[in-house]
Chain A
Amino acid sequence: MKTTYNKKIKSKIRYLLSVVIITSIFQSCADLDEDPTIAQLAPGAYSKIQELELGVTGVHARLNDASWMTTFYAPFWAGDDITTHFGSNKAEFREFDQRQVSQANSRVKNNWEAIYRTIRAANTVISNNEGLILTDPGEIETQTRLIAEVYFLRGVMFFHLARIHGQIPLPLVPDPDQQLGLSDQVTVYEQIESDLLAAESGLPDVYPGVNAGAPRPNSGSARALLARLYLDWAGFPVKDNAKYAEAATSAKQVIDNSAAHNFALLDDLEDLWTLANVFNSESVWTIPYCKSCGQPNRKFGKLGNPSDLAGWQETFAEIRFFEDFPEGPRKEATYRTEHDWENFNDQPTPVFKKIVGPIEDNLAPDFQTDRNDFFIRYAEVLLIYAEASARSGNITAEAWEALNMIRRRAEGLPFNTPNAGVDVTTGDLAELAFTERKWEFAGEYLRWNDLVRMERVEQALSNRTPQTSMNSSGELLPEFNPIKGSLGTDNYFAPIPQREIDLNPSVNN
């Protein structure tokens, strides 16, 4: 009896022991403190130069998200050079083309949001860099350059948005809760100026290790954009005439240092719009693309063709502008003149070669291309110099020469060789340069801003009816997308997107 009892006790103990052992193997506590740095680069203060480099590349990537589609430039369909399909799903481009932009225009909203997303990335880098104290001289140099690059990108983003909306909020720190109102126009320009000056002072003459065309900005890119800024500043709406002189000086500075920055005109305009030449010395700042890297450019190729040519009917050329365009090599480089466009079934409008590319590149079947954006060309620097010199009352031989270089190339002539048949040395230099810009930059989303700063919207858009273009039945072609809205200065800028107004009451104050 006792042994059985003992046995029982023993087996009980054995079971109990095994329960205790099995159980205790599994016991522990949960680790409840998170460590996001295992797989995430903490977006807090940087401790290494590599983190700063990653952050700056990220700002470029964000900018690319903003710029890869025509949304980035949709407001510039308002110019007299570009139009779009009269029907189809291009209503949001037509709203600009016809000067009646709705607050609900999603291109405006998406562009606004994409730009502020880029600005947030830039502000985050600037803020994270504050605690990054480096000792290695090479690293300090890199840090200076990278931060200057971020200021450049932020300034350009503010600038691009200000051209669309005029007054805008100016967030300078990454803070989700700040409620910024619209800054007045001068403050906006001063901020852009300050960012570009900071960029210029920290950037080298040529960014190390990059292709031609400044796909990463150099100090000359910053100065060229300052020239563009001052030209705007002197015009509508601020009309600070003193800024013309600054525009001229800035442009001259870039011209004088063009060799150091590797900036130069290409000999042949036709070379500018080829796939082979997406990195070229004429571009003063390039937004690069790379289809195979998942970073395609969606503004060219298929988008410029009507459905007759299996296109997406987005970026068409205005008939009247085409009619007025001076014949010559530049017109050939601007349009695909071989098409019988007057008899297109879809919509008889000319096709921009600048958009669909030359025949050899065969971009048209695709809407995603490897084309780059030449955000500002050396030709623009020259023409800013010519126009701003004249408007500031400082007409020089160099200013005439700057204009003549563009005129010569437009005729297919060597731009550095004076040619009495083409060159001009008398007349209204400012107006000649202004008109030269019209032809030189047709289809490059720049014309609208020229009309705005010179308050010539009404003059340019009042009569766009085709004068000479007829279809095979001998009928004069109609004007597509006629103007619906006001051409007055009250309608120059795009509305602030409704979503910003809904979420940020301060923009109404």
Chain B
Amino acid sequence: MKELFFNLSRKRLILGLLTALMGIYQVYAQQTITGKVVGEDDVGIPGVNVLVKGTTTGQITDFDGNFSISATENDVITISYLGFITQNITVGNQTTINVKLLADTQALDEIVVIGYGTARKSDLTGSVSQVSAKSFEGQPLARLEEALQGRAAGVTVAKANGAPGAAIKVRIRGANSINRSNDPLVVIDGFIGGDLSTLNPNDIASIDVLKDASATAVYGSRGSNGVVLVSTKKGKGVTKVDVDFFTTISTVPDLIPTLGAADFARIENSRRIRGGGSAIFTDQEIAGFAANGGTNYQDEIFQTAISQNLQLSASGSEGKIGYFISGNYVNQEGVVINTNYERYSLRSNVNANISDKFKIGFNIFGSRTTTINDLNQFGRFQGSVVLNALSWDPTTPIFDENGNYNNVSERNLASLNYNPVANLTLANVENIRDRIDANINLSYDILENLNYTLIAGATTFNGSNESYRTFRADPPTAGFGDNKNTTHQISNILTWSKEFGQHNVKATGVYEFSGIQNRFNGYNAARLFVPGGFYFAETAPGSGQSVFNNFSERSIQSLMARGEYIYNNALFVTGTIRMDESSVFRSENRRGYFPSVALAYSFDNMTFIENSNVFSSLKLRAGWGQVGNENIDPYTTFPNVQNANFSFNGSDSTPGVAPNSFGNPDLKWETTTQTNIGIDLGFLNGRANLSIDAYQKNTTDLLLDDPVIPSNGGNVTISKNIGEVENKGIDVAISADVINTDNFNWNTNFNLSHFKNEVTDLGGRDEIQGTFGSIDGQGRTWNIIQVGQPLGQFNGATFLGTWKTSEAAEAATFGRAPGDARYLRDENGDIVFSAIGNGTPTLTWGFNNTITYKNWDLNIFFQGVHGFDILNAVQGVIVGNTGNQRSFLAPEQLNQWTPQNETDIPAGGPNEAGSTRYIEKGDFIRLSNLTLGYTLKDVKHLNANVKLYITGQNLFLITDYSGYDPELTSVPADDNAGNKSVDVAAGINAGAYPNPRSFIFGVKVGF
């Protein structure tokens, strides 16, 4: 970008000199006007064009921004400079004119990263959303994903759970794939395969999101889920040091109501008597509970959490060297006891202009994140630990009279799981992830119009898991697993561009290869002789020790060509083709071609736009392309085996293996074909902008896990290229400077996405059972994939209230009695299980406002998600009388069916947690962020700007949903964890970690 300015200013220099020379021959009476042009920092700007309007008289400013020009009193002087707002000043009687140029943000943002190159925003043909640092600077961020949330139309960012450090789900224009990852490809400074969660938000200059296939086709077989291009900050200009510190106080917004101990005991007595048993609590005991209140385990596992975030950066340039160095420390306590997340990161970006033609840059980034007790690793076989707390017996205290934990309910009531407070307090699972990204980029102008760029980089990321379990494991057990990954990527990019009059042609060619190696080693050590902690694993007896190992690698080799043609700044055409060869497919299916074409037409030069007072720009875009998804595990085309050890003697294991997957040698990638049309409108000289994009994408040859006939091997699947998913939608983005005065500014951004997802084919089947196992001990599957329906269908029973006294005879035929739960049954009398709701939203929006008044600034960010259901299985389990929670715990039970008052709240009979009774609307509107800041400029002695701010996050939520938060899901968003079902099990709440409400106090100092 800097080179661009430099080149342009050099052209202007020549132009300016010429006009200055011509000025000598002017014959009119003139006076000499002198002045200085400065920027917002009051530093002179060299090379600014100073022109007498309507003439060719002009000059450019010198190195310090000074100029001197001849003009008459009636002349108007036009002062213009690329990237700044042009100013017109009538000379009058002034002889000295000092001008402060304001940056034209519109112009500054106009460079967009498009993959293997950049483009001016006005030249774009594809659908690209840009989120620049400016738009999220006003909001304290611990995670970069939050910067994308609600700021880019068509990009859905959902927090799957509120655990510190938890993966955040990012989807671009919906989910394409049923069984494969739908995570977008992340490219950081040209290096493919980054991880947004490890980045320091302060390091980021801009995020460009490639949404349609004409834009993502340059990434070929990895482009089908969209591409997030992240550009980190580079140093330039005077040295700048920034320090940003904020502390966060988080709480769980609202507890879910459950029965108190006394009510619980009363209802439990009635449940038992009704079932033919006798009361289990005496009146005296109940009176005791009424007096002491019992124990609310939900309350016991939550805490007020305090977090720290410190960010430091220094940037600038010295001669030919530019640098950006930053550090970040985050320490987040979880709102659930004994959970924590910590991250350190360091970045150093150094660029050197060795000559006019030869530039080289070296970026290195390192981070360590440590997560303590990631609750997702605790399993959800019978619901999460959070759900265990919600459904735990309020009549059993945490400790027994000897001060030891009560491991289980004293009378085997409510949840059959172990004491959640003990489980959490004694847990010690430490997950450490280290990441180092190092890459060099080298740019060489071979000829005036021909540039060669090399991007070469390597990443190592290691994740180890150390667990030491004492709870319910006596003697204790230690476990260790370590994933070591190394990736490399070499991209050779050749770019040729030339202008021929009104024709502007650019061609890009890429040869690239990349690969990743994974090594896994782990061990388990049971029955430690010395219960001293994880590092005493070697004291386990030989029979308690086991080892695990694995290795895999994958690579991809690619050629890409792109041609861009612009005619008269009005017609824009882009065509690309990429060829990928991927190692995960056999040689005959390995090579794929991914073409795209897009064109745009700008009406800016047309008179109706030039003459309009309202419209300032109009552009129409259309694009088509094909991209792929090759995201299967290495060796999927081969059959494989898994460890299947067995003990013949009751004390030692003998190693064994058993067949696992059936390989399918015919596999190839999924193909997504996408068509996009769009319109960009600018109003009032660019003060307001509107973009609308409509798209349709069809993903065919899905890499589907097709169920094998059970008698051929049990409950297994085989990957096949069958089926199709369609996504259609519309993205709208509006941005405006509503108020733009010296002291008062209001900038607003609104974006909205509406989309419809549909499974259109499953290879001849009507439906495929999902993989989300029920948590109520009933052995059901709560999700299903159905042709003609969106992903995320719930599978469950239809609740019909209670059997009434008048229906006693009919109820008896099903073994039920009046007051029991009643469900829809088929002709055989079996409960019908069918689709009962869908968890995939159809509408998302974000509304971001930044208001500045003098030294004050205010950021207000709303976000909404609509058109989806939630299977609130948590409520189903709280209600109880189900597999693993056999008591009633919900307050509504106080109004349960009685012979006198036949309500529809069952007093007995099996309760299906997966039923329409627990389907709720998930629609919500959230005040995601509210920040009020005050900036002290040029603080004495410090010589710095100091900004103080206070932020509230998740301050309110408008929703009818009764659980903690409708955005939560019980499937972790982290595809690396093998949770491929995240999109097909959307909206099922089996006890996710609650999203906190946070208050943040921060200070930013800029030197």
Q: Do the two chains bind?
A: yes
Residues of A within 8 A of B (CB): 11-12, 15-16, 18-19, 22-23, 26-34, 36, 38-44, 54-62, 64, 86-89, 91-92, 98, 102-104, 106-107, 109-110, 112-117, 120-121, 124, 168-169, 171, 174-180, 210-211, 215-216, 278-279, 288-290, 292-295, 307, 310-312, 345-347, 370, 372, 478, 484, 497, 499-500, 503-504, 507
B contacts with A: majority SS: loop
CA distance A36 to B780 in the complex (A): 35
Evaluate contact between B651 and A290: CB separation under 8 angstroms. yes
Evaluate contact between B657 and A210: CB separation under 8 angstroms. no
A279 to chain B, nearest CB (A): 7
CA distance A218 to B411 in the complex (A): 47
Evaluate contact between B649 and A55: CB separation under 8 angstroms. no
CA distance A110 to B514 in the complex (A): 43
Is B34 among interface residues, defined by CB-CB distance under 8 A?
no
Evaluate contact between B656 and A15: CB separation under 8 angstroms. no
Evaluate contact between B557 and A497: CB separation under 8 angstroms. no
Chain B interfacial residues counted at CB < 8 A: 96
Between-chain CB contacts (< 8 Å), 11 pairs? A12-B357, A23-B492, A31-B583, A40-B640, A42-B638, A57-B657, A89-B778, A175-B712, A215-B649, A279-B649, A503-B707
A90 to chain B, nearest CB (A): 9
Residues from chain A with Cβ under 8 Å of B555 in the complex? 30-32
Query: Which residues 650-680 of B have a CB within 8 angstroms of A?
Result: 650-659, 662
CA distance A178 to B412 in the complex (A): 47
CA distance A18 to B444 in the complex (A): 10
Residues from chain B with Cβ under 8 Å of A31 in the complex? 515, 555, 583
Evaluate contact between A292 and B543: CB separation under 8 angstroms. yes
Evaluate contact between B886 and A89: CB separation under 8 angstroms. yes
CA distance A478 to B277 in the complex (A): 12
Within the complex, which residue of B635, B637, B711 is in contact with A40, where a contact is CB–CB below 8 Å?
B635
6 other A-B residue contacts (CB within 8 Å) besides A23-B492, A500-B709, A503-B710: A29-B513, A40-B635, A293-B543, A293-B647, A311-B412, A370-B650
Q: Please judge, given known A-B contacts A15-B357, A32-B582, whether A174 and B709 are in contact too, CB under 8 Å.
A: no
Evaluate contact between A110 and B657: CB separation under 8 angstroms. no
Residues from chain B with Cβ under 8 Å of A19 in the complex? 358, 442, 444, 452, 454
Is B639 among interface residues, defined by CB-CB distance under 8 A?
yes
A206 to chain B, nearest CB (A): 14
Residues of B within 8 A of A (CB): 272, 275-278, 280, 354-355, 357-358, 408, 411-412, 416, 440, 442, 444, 446, 452, 454, 456, 490, 492, 513-515, 526-527, 543-544, 546, 549-552, 554-557, 581-584, 587, 590, 634-635, 637-641, 644-659, 662, 707-716, 718, 769, 776-780, 815, 828, 830-831, 833, 882-884, 886, 910
A94 to chain B, nearest CB (A): 9
Evaluate contact between A15 and B358: CB separation under 8 angstroms. yes
Evaluate contact between B711 and A500: CB separation under 8 angstroms. yes
Determine the residue in chain B with the shortest Cβ distance to A25.
B456
Within the complex, which residue of B513, B647, B780 is in contact with A28, where a contact is CB–CB below 8 Å?
B513
CA distance A141 to B342 in the complex (A): 59
Evaluate contact between A36 and B640: CB separation under 8 angstroms. yes
Residues from chain B with Cβ under 8 Å of A307 in the complex? 411-412
Evaluate contact between B582 and A15: CB separation under 8 angstroms. no
A469 to chain B, nearest CB (A): 15
CA distance A60 to B354 in the complex (A): 67
Determine the residue in chain A with the shortest Cβ distance to B656.
A57
Evaluate contact between A292 and B655: CB separation under 8 angstroms. no
Within the complex, which residue of B526, B554, B654 is in contact with A292, where a contact is CB–CB below 8 Å?
B526
Residues from chain A with Cβ under 8 Å of B354 in the complex? 15
Evaluate contact between A33 and B711: CB separation under 8 angstroms. no
Q: Please judge, given known A-B contacts A32-B583, A116-B712, whether A88 and B886 are in contact too, CB under 8 Å.
A: yes
CA distance A82 to B972 in the complex (A): 41
Evaluate contact between A57 and B646: CB separation under 8 angstroms. yes
CA distance A497 to B769 in the complex (A): 14
Residues from chain A with Cβ under 8 Å of B446 in the complex? 16
CA distance A32 to B444 in the complex (A): 30
Determine the residue in chain A with the shortest Cβ distance to B815.
A484
Evaluate contact between A30 and B556: CB separation under 8 angstroms. yes
Residues from chain A with Cβ under 8 Å of B490 in the complex? 26-28
CA distance A344 to B452 in the complex (A): 85
Evaluate contact between B647 and A106: CB separation under 8 angstroms. no
CA distance A475 to B604 in the complex (A): 95
Q: Please judge, given known A-B contacts A32-B555, A503-B710, whether A61 and B646 are in contact too, CB under 8 Å.
A: yes
CA distance A54 to B411 in the complex (A): 46
Within the complex, which residue of A32, A41, A278 is in contact with B557, where a contact is CB–CB below 8 Å?
A32
A165 to chain B, nearest CB (A): 11
Residues from chain A with Cβ under 8 Å of B552 in the complex? 39
Residues from chain A with Cβ under 8 Å of B440 in the complex? 22
CA distance A23 to B452 in the complex (A): 10
Evaluate contact between A211 and B649: CB separation under 8 angstroms. yes
Evaluate contact between B280 and A345: CB separation under 8 angstroms. yes
Q: Please judge, given known A-B contacts A61-B644, A290-B647, A292-B651, whether A54 and B779 are in contact too, CB under 8 Å.
A: no
Residues from chain A with Cβ under 8 Å of B416 in the complex? 312
Evaluate contact between B638 and A89: CB separation under 8 angstroms. no
Within the complex, which residue of B647, B713, B716, B815 is in contact with A295, where a contact is CB–CB below 8 Å?
B647
Evaluate contact between A54 and B408: CB separation under 8 angstroms. no
CA distance A168 to B709 in the complex (A): 13
Residues from chain B with Cβ under 8 Å of A12 in the complex? 357
Evaluate contact between A504 and B709: CB separation under 8 angstroms. yes
Residues from chain A with Cβ under 8 Å of B514 in the complex? 30
Residues from chain A with Cβ under 8 Å of B515 in the complex? 30-31
Residues from chain B with Cβ under 8 Å of A478 in the complex? 276
Residues from chain B with Cβ under 8 Å of A117 in the complex? 713-716
- In order of increasing CB-CB distance, the 9 nearest A-B pairs are A57-B656, A117-B714, A106-B779, A58-B658, A89-B883, A61-B644, A290-B647, A120-B713, A30-B557
Determine the residue in chain A with the shortest Cβ distance to B714.
A117
Q: Please judge, given known A-B contacts A91-B910, A117-B714, whether A57 and B644 are in contact too, CB under 8 Å.
A: yes
Within the complex, which residue of B355, B713, B776 is in contact with A11, where a contact is CB–CB below 8 Å?
B355
CA distance A289 to B653 in the complex (A): 10
Within the complex, which residue of A110, A121, A504 is in contact with B711, where a contact is CB–CB below 8 Å?
A504
Most A-side CB within 10 Å, residue of B635, B637, B655, B710: B710
Residues from chain B with Cβ under 8 Å of A179 in the complex? 709
Determine the residue in chain B with the shortest Cβ distance to A120.
B713
Evaluate contact between B454 and A288: CB separation under 8 angstroms. no
Evaluate contact between A293 and B652: CB separation under 8 angstroms. yes
Residues from chain B with Cβ under 8 Å of A180 in the complex? 711-712
Evaluate contact between B543 and A176: CB separation under 8 angstroms. no
Within the complex, which residue of A210, A499, A507 is in contact with B649, where a contact is CB–CB below 8 Å?
A210
Within the complex, which residue of B556, B637, B657 is in contact with A54, where a contact is CB–CB below 8 Å?
B657
Evaluate contact between B779 and A58: CB separation under 8 angstroms. no
Within the complex, which residue of A28, A116, A310, A347 is in contact with B713, where a contact is CB–CB below 8 Å?
A116
Evaluate contact between B712 and A292: CB separation under 8 angstroms. no
Residues from chain B with Cβ under 8 Å of A210 in the complex? 648-649
Residues from chain B with Cβ under 8 Å of A121 in the complex? 644, 658-659
B763 to chain A, nearest CB (A): 12
Residues from chain B with Cβ under 8 Å of A57 in the complex? 644-646, 654-657
A287 to chain B, nearest CB (A): 10
A234 to chain B, nearest CB (A): 27
Residues from chain B with Cβ under 8 Å of A59 in the complex? 656, 658
CA distance A32 to B579 in the complex (A): 14
Residues from chain A with Cβ under 8 Å of B707 in the complex? 499, 503
CA distance A28 to B557 in the complex (A): 10
Evaluate contact between B454 and A26: CB separation under 8 angstroms. yes
Q: Please judge, given known A-B contacts A30-B514, A113-B715, A176-B718, whether A43 and B640 are in contact too, CB under 8 Å.
A: yes
Residues from chain A with Cβ under 8 Å of B276 in the complex? 86, 478
Determine the residue in chain A with the shortest Cβ distance to B276.
A86
Residues from chain A with Cβ under 8 Å of B718 in the complex? 176
Residues from chain B with Cβ under 8 Å of A89 in the complex? 776-778, 882-884, 886, 910
Residues from chain B with Cβ under 8 Å of A54 in the complex? 655-657
CA distance A113 to B781 in the complex (A): 15
CA distance A121 to B651 in the complex (A): 24
CA distance A62 to B713 in the complex (A): 11
Determine the residue in chain B with the shortest Cβ distance to A50.
B655
